[in-house]
Copies of this chain bind each other. A is one copy, B any other.
């Protein structure tokens, strides 16, 4: 089990090195009532939520300081990650300005980004509060975005983070094996989803995203326009069924998709057009994985995958080939995606060792449904390796 204290020490140490690498003097995570509208970075810095204005200040010279409301002090101190924890009763202004004047940083990174949501945890109102505090001591022009720092911190997975992700994958694969025996003609998408959720609960685990769409279960051809919630639509012979499912273990997620074919009477396997669709997907994933290595941009991998699908005669998938996975099913900044407006700079970020990505091409087999697989890979020093047991055979249901 991943202990919070271990993670916080690991990550605050890593942050010091990233600050040095980026040439940034100090990084402030500034938050309040984090249970209401929390900064997604806080979990690497504190063992629990904070109530009042709180500043977690890490410097490239190795100093680590937290300034929090009185009742949050002890929990932050107990984490053992900070050199000192200051607390206050009436307001953060005095201790915060005092420490910043002592620190005299030339650059101050704060948690906002136009394009990377995991780096965009500072709310606009709190930004204004922080700006005014720094203005009072003449530091307001030293602010820069912490996007590169937070992205590196999240994407360079530590051994304990990878262990939690692998555990989440194993649980997910186990439930896929069980549900394979449950799926049968006549069963509804909802029944299948309920069966899986029940398995999650029996294991005292949580789903990787909201239960209303985890698992997402889609059966048959009319699901080409994906509807997120499982419906009362029944499983029918001759149709494809696919599901998107993930589990969270010790705060880390899996995110996997699998495709099943429901055989018609007398069939011994899937018909040729279904096979072709499925094999196009497995080929796309394998070619994409082989092309991944540090330094390559996500855009290039997405393009390669997209071309295999369209050259096989299918419409291109209306989403990115793959995203990073970590504390959220959708995590990190770098993306294996096309240069679309909504993806902003993400597809242009180079891959780095320690990143965990999904590979999830999708295509429609007319009259049958959607063929799609989502596997998970880890970027290594020289390439990329599967973290799950990739689906290589269509799962056939009688």
Instruction: Tell me whether chain A's interface is mostly helix, strand or loop, or mixed.
Output: loop
Q: Let me know if B122 and A123 touch, CB within 8 A.
A: yes
Smallest CB separation, A118 vs chain B (Å): 6
Which residue of B48, B116, B118, B119 is within 8 Å of A210 (Cβ)? B48
Which residues in window 104-162 of A have CB below 8 A to B?
112-129, 145
* Cα–Cα distance between A330 and B36 once the two chains are bound (Å): 8
Q: Let me know if B318 and A117 touch, CB within 8 A.
A: no
* Cα–Cα distance between A120 and B125 once the two chains are bound (Å): 6
* Cα–Cα distance between A47 and B70 once the two chains are bound (Å): 37
Q: Let me know if B117 and A36 touch, CB within 8 A.
A: yes
Q: Let me know if B213 and A90 touch, CB within 8 A.
A: no
* Cα–Cα distance between A257 and B116 once the two chains are bound (Å): 40
* Cα–Cα distance between A89 and B315 once the two chains are bound (Å): 14
Smallest CB separation, A1 vs chain B (Å): 15
The answer to whether the Cβ of A35 comes within 8 Å of any Cβ in the partner chain is yes
Evaluate whether A123 and B125 lie within 8 angstroms (CB atoms) in the complex, with A210-B48, A318-B89, A342-B69 already known: no
Q: Chain B residues with Cβ under 8 A from A340's Cβ?
A: 89-91
Quickly give the copy total for this chain.
2
Find the residue from A39, A92, A227 having the highest chain B CB count within 10 A: A227
Q: Chain B residues with Cβ under 8 A from A92's Cβ?
A: 341-342
Which residues in window 5-62 of A have CB below 8 A to B?
32-33, 35-40, 47-49, 51-53
Evaluate whether A37 and B38 lie within 8 angstroms (CB atoms) in the complex, with A120-B123, A120-B126, A229-B75 already known: yes
* Cα–Cα distance between A124 and B113 once the two chains are bound (Å): 7
Smallest CB separation, A322 vs chain B (Å): 15
Which residue of B33, B210, B228 is within 8 Å of A330 (Cβ)? B33
Q: Chain B residues with Cβ under 8 A from A307's Cβ?
A: none
CB closest chain-B residue, reference A145? B125
Q: Chain B residues with Cβ under 8 A from A71's Cβ?
A: 226, 228, 319
18 contacts across the A-B interface (CB closer than 8 A):
A33-B330, A35-B210, A36-B118, A36-B331, A37-B39, A37-B40, A51-B330, A52-B342, A71-B228, A78-B229, A112-B123, A114-B125, A114-B126, A114-B129, A117-B123, A119-B125, A120-B123, A123-B123
Binding site for B on A (CB under 8 A): 32-33, 35-40, 47-49, 51-53, 69-72, 74-75, 78, 88-93, 112-129, 145, 209-210, 212-213, 225-229, 318-319, 328-331, 340-342
